Amino acid sequence: MIEVLAPGLLTTVQDLGRPGLRHLGVVHAGAADVASHVLAQLLVGNPAFAAGLEVTWLGPRLRFHAAAAVALAGGAIEARCGGAAVPALRPVRLPEGAVLELGRVVRGARVALAVAGGIDVEPVLGSRSTDRRAGFGGFEGRPLRSGDVLGVGRPGDPAPPTGHNPGVSAPAWSIHPLDAFEEHAVLRVLPGADFEALAPSSRAALLDGEWRVGTDSDRMGVTLDGPALVVEAAPGRVSAPVLPGCVQVPPGGRPVLLGVDAQTVGGYPVVAHVIRADLDRAMQLRPGDVVRLGPVDEQHARAAWRARLHALHEREAAIAARRARGSGA
């Protein structure tokens, strides 16, 4: 059992989301940074689809009423327990009664917190993810609040031994992060269905200029501040299906990169698509970060996705091998 002493800025229960339901108007939801969620779950011996907590900007303070193994992945965060620093990207054992204090996210925007056994909330439509706008899934369909109590499932694969330290303990090994979080990022894009509807100068601005992430960015969309884009020929439709990664241009000309909580249909012109391999990085952008959109072709996009899957599988194999060897490996 985990008691929420302080909720942080925006902490929600997430897993791998609800794929395959967009035709019914149900958004994908799930972890914003999928790879970090998966790595955190694997580090504590959970299946990749187990539910964990997603922390945004400022983390919660949590009391563990039973000994637990936890792992942090994704953005860099200030984390302490009983005066000791809690390292990321490795399994960490917490004793019964431990209070885990997660502070500021100092690099990136979001952090995945996994607990051995997974966060145990009732699945809705096959997922434990929080859909804030629809108000279902996760913990009562909302971010955590002080006083909430979360159940934890039974661990199927306990954390590797780390000696006889009854306090906070962790093995000597860790894994390498999958992504770096720079203030100047390049997101690779494919042209959208309405790219040619942009004025020539706006096409150049979209792909050659720099954009700054807006302060109103969230899981639904990342706003990009820069020159107003001009749509010369509005698409002749009321609405069309959209997906996370689509870059839309509303009437004001300020592009929006759709995120994991994006609506299922939209009528604004779609001028670009961030490739799948870069979606996790896009959802780790912070307000004020500078972004460039780098055009690629479909062959490059497929190769980038294969490379990302290969890197993730390498880390999965490394985690399995090190957990099997136990402490100090």
Over residues 176-221, the pLDDT tens digits come to 998 888 778 999 999 999 999 999 999 999 999 999 999 999 999 9
Helix (H, G, I), strand (E, B) or coil at 291: strand
**Residue 268, in any domain of the structure:** yes
Task: Kindly report the number of other CB atoms within 10 A of residue 62's CB atom.
Answer: 28
How many domains does one find in the chain?
Answer: 2
Please tell me whether residues 198 and 141 are part of one structural domain: no
**Residue 307, in any domain of the structure:** no
Task: Kindly report the number of other CB atoms within 10 A of residue 44's CB atom.
Answer: 28
When pLDDT is cut at 50, 70 and 90, the band that residue 157 belongs to is: low
Residue-level pLDDT at 325: 81
Please tell me whether residues 192 and 171 are part of one structural domain: no
For the cut 70, the answer to whether the pLDDT of residue 61 exceeds it is yes
**Residue 305, in any domain of the structure:** no
When pLDDT is cut at 50, 70 and 90, the band that residue 302 belongs to is: very high
Residue-level pLDDT at 164: 46
For the cut 60, the answer to whether the pLDDT of residue 165 exceeds it is no
Residue-level pLDDT at 163: 46
Find, among 8, 29, 24, the residue nearest to 137 by Cα.
Answer: 29
Are 232 and 199 a contacting pair, CB within 8 Å?
yes
CATH number assigned to the domain comprising residue 282: 2.40.100.10
Instruction: Provide the residue type at 2 as one letter.
Output: I
Q: Which residue has the tokens 């780390």?
A: 162
Buried b / exposed e across 225-254, counting CB within 10 Å, b at 16+?
Answer: bbeebebeeeeeeeeeebebbbbbbeeeeb
**Residue 303, in any domain of the structure:** no
Q: State pTM to two decimals.
A: 0.94
Q: What is the residue range of 9's domain?
A: 2-177+313-325
